[in-house]
Amino acid sequence: QLQLQESGPGLVKPSETLSLTCTVSGDSISNSDYSWGWIRQPPGKGLECIGTIYYSGSTYYNPSLKSRVTISVDTSKSQFSLKLSSVTAADAAVYYCARHRYSGSYRWFDPWGQGTLVTVSS
Amino acid sequence: EIVLTQSPGTLSLSPGERATLSCRASQSVSSNYLTWYQHKPGQAPRLLIYGAYNRATGIPDRFSGSGSGTDFTLTISRLEPEDFAVYYCQQYGSSPLITFGQGTRLEIK
C-alpha cells in the first residue's frame, strides 16, 4: 500500500527558505502513471496546489508561487522535495505531499501524506 | 484564471438527511478532471469522486457526483455521523493547472 510521509523543520524564520521532503513507500516513485505533488493549507483556509513533479524531473508550479518554488525528485531515495524561498507569515500552513494519479483521461490526488505544520516566525 | 466557487460555505444538517454541495467553475471544466475530496481535521484529505461522478475505491454509494461544464454537485444521500467534514472540489487542466475550491464545511445541526 502506497504511503507518503512529509518531513522537515516545523519552524522557519521569515525571509528564509522552507525545505520539506516527502518519502514514498509501497510503490515506485518512477512509475510513469504518476506525478508527485505538494499542496498546502494555511490556517483557516482552503487547499492550494504548490506544484508537481514527474520522476523525470519535469515540473509544474503554481504561477502565484513559481518565482519562489523549487520541487525536485531523488528516485534513488524514493523522495521528492519542496523548497520555498523568502517565506513570510503567509506561508505558514500544513503542507501535504500526495501522488497525482493519471488513469486514462482522469487525474486525481491520492493518497496524501498526513501533513506537516510549518510555522513562520523569528 | 479559473476559479472554483463552492456553496454553501457551511451546511448544517442532521444525520439521515440529504446533503447537496455545489462547485461552480468560472470557465468550463472537463468532467474527467473534476474531483471531490473529504477532509477531516488532523487527517489527510480523502479522495471521494474522480471524473465528476466516479466513486473512488471504498467510497460508500451514498456519495455521488454529477454535473458538467461549469456546474458540479456532490450529493450525500443519507448523512452518517462520520460524513461531517470539509469537502473540496478540484479541477485539473485550466490555468492554473490544478486548483481547489474554498471548501464547504458540513456540520452537524
pLDDT at A98 over 90: yes
Contact assignment for B88 to A109 by CB distance below 8 Å: no
Position A59 scores a pLDDT of: 96
- pLDDT band of residue A104 (cuts 50, 70, 90) is confident
Per-residue pLDDT tens for B87-107?
A: 999 999 988 899 999 999 999
Pair A98, A6: CB distance under 8 Å: no
Residues B35-66 as b or e (16 or more Cβ within 10 Å = b): bbbbbeeeebbbbbbbbbbbbbeebeeebbbe
Distance in angstroms (rounded) separating the CA atoms of residues B73 and B24: 9
Per-residue pLDDT tens for A46-85?
A: 999 999 999 999 999 999 999 999 999 999 999 999 999 9
Dihedral in degrees, nearest 10, Cα atoms A99, A103, A107, A108 = -40
The answer to whether A107 faces chain B, any CB pair under 8 Å, is yes
Q: Which of B44, B46, B99 sits opposite A114 (nearest CB)?
A: B44
C-alpha distance from residue B31 to each of A27, A97, B2, B28, B85 (Å) = 28, 24, 15, 9, 24
- pLDDT band of residue A107 (cuts 50, 70, 90) is very high
Contact assignment for B47 to A111 by CB distance below 8 Å: yes
Q: Which of A46, A63, A64 sits opposite B100 (nearest CB)?
A: A46
Please state which of the ranges A3-12, A99-108, B5-14 shows the lowest mean pLDDT: A99-108
Q: Within 13 Å and on the Cβ side, how many CA atoms surround A108?
A: 26
Contact assignment for B98 to A60 by CB distance below 8 Å: yes
Contact assignment for A47 to B50 by CB distance below 8 Å: no
Could you tell me the three cell numbers for A110? Answer: 491520492
Residue B20, classified by CB atoms within 10 Å of its CB into exposed (0-12), middle (13-18) or buried (19+), is middle
Contact assignment for B56 to A105 by CB distance below 8 Å: no
Could you tell me the three cell numbers for B79? Answer: 448523512
C-alpha distance from residue B45 to each of A76, B19, B58, B90 (Å) = 27, 19, 15, 12
Pair B87, B104: CB distance under 8 Å: yes
Position A45 scores a pLDDT of: 93
The residue in chain B having the minimum alpha-carbon distance to the alpha carbon of residue A66 is: B96
